[in-house]
């Protein structure tokens, strides 16, 4: 935890930055969205340039499950963007260059964001904006030390096979700190994780991929939970399953899960209506596709319009954790989402919007234990990506448990933090919610 005065200093910096940077967001009907058109025939929403992204539909077959077939609107954004954080070492301590950034979907204005957060359309300058600060360090990494460089997925329930390139690049020597940017140590960021809606989703996914981003910096732990947490990040500590066993389980799940998806036209989607300028589910559940006009100052483009996904309700994203043999283990769920590039990824123990389950046949396993627990180690409401999602917020929880799970449970395994770290070197093993939550969990590692 940061001392209150450190948190105050960050808020003071954000307030100063906000004096030079503002954003107004106004809801408008999808039908009159400037620069966007509803394609005749398909009804798909796309930008007149054909770039950025489109909203289409996805027909999903997942036989043998409680909901074996459905169709939904989905964002198709085939471009791979860059989420990049510049770091430098000062007196042996890693510092991250973070940006205070507005996004139209942010509930609260500025959030702490990566140094660079750019779609390919951004950085090839389709909208003719100003150049993106610091981008050159990520587009040409020669001569720099690249600590992280891996494509990772994003929300598979809302995006069709979206992936971004998560990068951490270390620079030598001084670089100019521009207006709206500030160096933070990893410890400072850890201390800010519980501040609601402060560290943005893109910052969380990039930092989660940073090796040794927790235990390596640990000082002697003062209590058994911290000791077990530190041990969990130690490469020398075995888990209850070998990494080979975990990989074999992932192979088994991805092989047996018969997911079939097909992109299609947004027009005529069963159970979804397009009325009053929005696209909504007949039940009122899940999410709505809405339009916004954005006016921004202190950013590369002054005004634009775009469709956004506005989810219904606040989600619950939780890890159950347990000390096993002195090592903290995290209960991971093999979760299939229609938009994943490779069928199934490792997800939090619980990931759902409780209200949505009013419309679905099954109550999520472990949800009631999480909501009823008194052994909460981490609890904060954080925002999802404000560039595509309007007011999407989730309650992130880390909860201690005594739950017993069968060694060969088809859907769950206990993993150590180090095993997650090994998997995070590769694409598409750990989903975006689990990545965020790993960062939350690692923020509990005691620091000097």
Site residues, its own copies (CB under 8 A)? 78, 80, 141-142, 146-147, 149-151, 165, 244-245, 247-248, 251-252, 254-255, 260, 341-342, 408, 425-427
Shortest reach from residue 215's CB to its own copies, in Å: 19
Whole-Å CA distances, 31 to 76, 102, 130, 143, 407: 19, 25, 29, 48, 52
Burial 331-352 (b: 16+ CB within 10 A, else e): bbbbbbbbbbeebbbbbbbbbb
When the beta carbons of 352 and 423 are compared against its own copies, the nearer one is: 423
DSSP state of 416: -
E-only strand ranges, 350-432: 350-352, 376-383, 393-400, 412-415
Shortest reach from residue 176's CB to its own copies, in Å: 25
When the beta carbons of 47 and 393 are compared against its own copies, the nearer one is: 47
Shortest reach from residue 330's CB to its own copies, in Å: 21
Residues 412/331, Cβ–Cβ less than 8 Å: yes
Q: Are strands 69-76 and 159-160 parallel, antiparallel or unpaired?
A: parallel
Residues 139/132, Cβ–Cβ less than 8 Å: no
DSSP state of 80: -
Shortest reach from residue 142's CB to its own copies, in Å: 6
When the beta carbons of 150 and 371 are compared against its own copies, the nearer one is: 150
When the beta carbons of 39 and 252 are compared against its own copies, the nearer one is: 252
When the beta carbons of 100 and 169 are compared against its own copies, the nearer one is: 169
Shortest reach from residue 84's CB to its own copies, in Å: 12
For 400, other C-beta atoms within 10 Å of its C-beta total 17
When the beta carbons of 275 and 408 are compared against its own copies, the nearer one is: 408
When the beta carbons of 185 and 427 are compared against its own copies, the nearer one is: 427
When the beta carbons of 373 and 427 are compared against its own copies, the nearer one is: 427
Shortest reach from residue 166's CB to its own copies, in Å: 9
Shortest reach from residue 445's CB to its own copies, in Å: 23
Whole-Å CA distances, 171 to 88, 165, 182: 5, 18, 15
Residues 41/265, Cβ–Cβ less than 8 Å: yes
Shortest reach from residue 64's CB to its own copies, in Å: 13
Length of the chain: 448
Helix (H) / strand (E) element for 243: namely: helix 243-256
Residues 93/182, Cβ–Cβ less than 8 Å: no
């Amino acid at each position: 935890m940061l001392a209150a005065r450190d948190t105050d200093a960050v808020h003071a910096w954000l307030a100063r930055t906000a004096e030079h940077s503002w954003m107004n967001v106004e809801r408008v009907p999808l039908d009159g969205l400037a620069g966007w058109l509803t394609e005749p025939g398909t009804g798909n929403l796309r930008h007149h340039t054909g770039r950025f992204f489109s909203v289409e539909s996805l027909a999903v077959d997942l036989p043998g499950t409680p909901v074996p077939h459905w169709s939904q609107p989905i964002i198709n954004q085939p471009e791979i963007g860059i989420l990049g954080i510049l770091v430098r070492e000062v007196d042996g301590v890693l510092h991250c260059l973070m940006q205070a950034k507005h996004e139209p979907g942010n509930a609260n204005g500025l959030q702490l964001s990566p140094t660079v957060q750019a779609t390919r359309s951004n950085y090839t300058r389709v909208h003719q904006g100003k150049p993106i600060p610091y981008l050159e360090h990520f587009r040409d990494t020669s001569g720099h030390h690249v600590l992280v460089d891996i494509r990772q997925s994003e929300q598979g329930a809302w995006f069709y096979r979206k992936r971004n390139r998560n990068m951490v690049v270390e620079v030598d020597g001084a670089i100019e700190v521009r207006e709206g940017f500030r160096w933070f140590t990893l410890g400072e960021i850890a201390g800010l994780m519980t501040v609601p809606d402060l560290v943005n989703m893109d910052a969380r996914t990039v930092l989660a991929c940073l090796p040794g981003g927790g235990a390596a910096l640990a000082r002697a732990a003062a209590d058994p939970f911290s000791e077990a947490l530190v041990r969990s990040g130690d490469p020398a500590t075995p888990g209850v399953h070998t990494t080979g066993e975990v990989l074999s389980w992932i192979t088994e799940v991805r092989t047996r899960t018969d997911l079939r998806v097909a992109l299609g036209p947004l027009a005529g989607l069963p159970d979804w209506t397009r009325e009053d300028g929005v696209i909504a589910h007949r039940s009122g559940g899940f999410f709505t596709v809405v339009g916004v006009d954005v006016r921004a100052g202190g950013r590369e483009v002054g005004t634009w319009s775009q469709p956004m996904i506005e989810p219904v309700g606040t989600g619950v994203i939780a890890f159950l954790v347990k000390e096993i043999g002195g090592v903290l283990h995290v209960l991971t769920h093999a979760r299939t989402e229609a938009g994943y590039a490779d069928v199934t990824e490792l997800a939090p123990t619980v990931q759902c919007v409780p209200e949505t389950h009013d419309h679905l046949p099954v109550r999520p396993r472990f949800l009631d234990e999480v909501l009823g627990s008194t052994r909460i180690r981490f609890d904060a409401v954080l925002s999802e990506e404000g560039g595509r999602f309007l007011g999407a917020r989730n309650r992130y929880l880390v909860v201690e448990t005594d739950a017993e799970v069968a060694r060969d449970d088809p859907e769950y395994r206990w993993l150590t933090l180090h095993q997650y770290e090994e998997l995070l070197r590769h694409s598409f093993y750990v989903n975006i919610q689990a990545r965020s939550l790993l960062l939350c969990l690692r923020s509990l590692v005691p620091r000097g």
